[in-house]
Structure 1
């Protein structure tokens, strides 16, 4: 549904490129987690995907249309929730009346339902809300647009602990086979249970682009104080009870993905991870 084709981008002429000859393809009906170090270009990539930034070279195609054209047919079918944003000091009802008309599939009923996930009502004045409350409202509006593509940059920043739990239920409730959601975040524990695809990028390269099912088929994630087991692990992180371990899944065991382990292992040994998931491709 969306193809990023060999894009390069820098914020100032003559400055180092944030992205260079970068490519990525996204399919519909998936919840993607976009992970990378600070400065890897994640937010820049999201703005390029939505057409708010223009690449120096390359292009972003959404349903075979270049997003740089900013056509209504494209804009009405994608929504970006940036990390930082401002909302006008008006009632939520007025905000919805003014902005929902740009999205043909917007549903007021669904927005009320999404607000209830965050224990909020529609009778609100946006100017009186905290940043965390504004984020809950804005995300509820975004999900209620029913665009085919929903892009979210650090959506759980500013949310309290209950809000982060509510966010996971909120995303699950708004997902469908026709919608693609991209979540870029450093708060990996907030999203690890709602993703079905992981993309890890660094230095303008995609280091990992795999479904969570494929990852858990190849890798086993667990916590243990067994020192011998830790020695055979592909990657470890200390925990209260010993270590979080990432091991080869040789016995087809089931485990829940640990994005912190996966991210650390991929950055530490990208070639080893590539060989694990694409051995034939790597040999060529």
Structure 2
């Protein structure tokens, strides 16, 4: 559904943020986009939705060029930005203004998510807290039923119960012809949600793997002594011993620790990436 070939992007031609970036993304999945601060995650999302344009290369989203910003394209792509702004109107008026842009918008779905998020429907948006506004926009984004849903730090501003509810809602809405990309530093919020991990580093996507492939190649475990682990790649001190990422020679079943995995990739990049070549 998304095919990016040799994309170059920068705010100045001699200072590229994305350099010769190649990416293939399939529908039916929830992708986690990880990277350091300033790595270009938001720039990549903005190129995908047509708010920024590549200097060279191609970006094809659902068979269309985002830079052309055709109505057919814009109806099928929704970006939830990290920094949000909502006008001083009621939720009902907000829907009357913006929902018509999305032909598949589901009002019942929207109000169901508001109820699950415990959002009062009669309040004006500007009277809500930042977290409440974020929940309104998350509900709106999902109700558009856009084929490509891009979320930039969606869990910022959400309390712990709301993050749990966010994961539950997202996991229940993805369809076979949709894809969701979530860019975040709050990786603990996504461990049980995403099924593909993408890492943006050195101006390129250096890894794009399904979770099941990561846990097949690598084992994530807690040990008291590092000598007890065969082929460790990365370790961190924990309350009881060490948290370890190791080569999964014995094909053990373990649960992905995305924060550990991301740190392992940054610290021992060649050794980790060689497992997936």
Q: Identify whether the pair has TM-score above 0.5, normalized to the shorter chain.
A: yes
Match of 2:174 in 1: 175
Match of 1:67 in 2: 66
4+ runs deviating over 4 angstroms? none
Q: 1:11 is paired with a residue of what secondary structure? A: strand
Q: Distance in 1 between matches of 2:122 and 2:232?
A: 53
Match of 1:263 in 2: 262
Match of 1:239 in 2: 238
Q: Distance in 2 between matches of 1:252 and 1:13?
A: 46
Q: TM-score, normalised by structure 1?
A: 0.94
Q: CA deviation at 1:164?
A: 1.4
Match of 1:128 in 2: 127
Match of 1:161 in 2: 160
Match of 1:6 in 2: 6
Q: Distance in 2 between matches of 1:277 and 1:214?
A: 8
Q: Distance in 2 between matches of 1:250 and 1:122?
A: 53
Of 115-124 and 152-161, more deviation after overlay is shown by 115-124
Q: 2:16 is paired with a residue of what secondary structure? A: coil
Q: CA deviation at 1:123?
A: 2.4
Q: Distance in 1 between matches of 2:240 and 2:52?
A: 46
Q: CA deviation at 1:274?
A: 2.4
Q: 2:131 is paired with a residue of what secondary structure? A: helix
Cα pair 2:234 2:268 within 8 Å, conserved: no
Q: Distance in 2 between matches of 1:245 and 1:112?
A: 43
Consecutive unaligned residues of structure 1, counting only runs of 5 or more, are 279-284
Give the length in aligned residue pairs.
277
1:190 paired to 2:200? no
Match of 1:282 in 2: none
Q: Distance in 2 between matches of 1:20 and 1:227?
A: 38
Q: CA deviation at 1:12?
A: 3.2
Q: CA deviation at 1:13?
A: 4.8
Of 95-104 and 119-128, more deviation after overlay is shown by 119-128
Q: Distance in 2 between matches of 1:12 and 1:130?
A: 37
Q: 1:181 is paired with a residue of what secondary structure? A: strand
Q: Distance in 2 between matches of 1:130 and 1:3?
A: 38
Of 44-53 and 218-227, more deviation after overlay is shown by 218-227
> CA deviation digits over 1:125-158, x for unaligned, max 9?
1010111111110010000100111000011111
Cα RMSD after superposing both structures: 1.4
Q: 2:274 is paired with a residue of what secondary structure? A: helix
Q: How does 1:94-133 map to 2 (within 5 A)?
A: 94-133=93-132
Cα pair 2:33 2:182 within 8 Å, conserved: yes
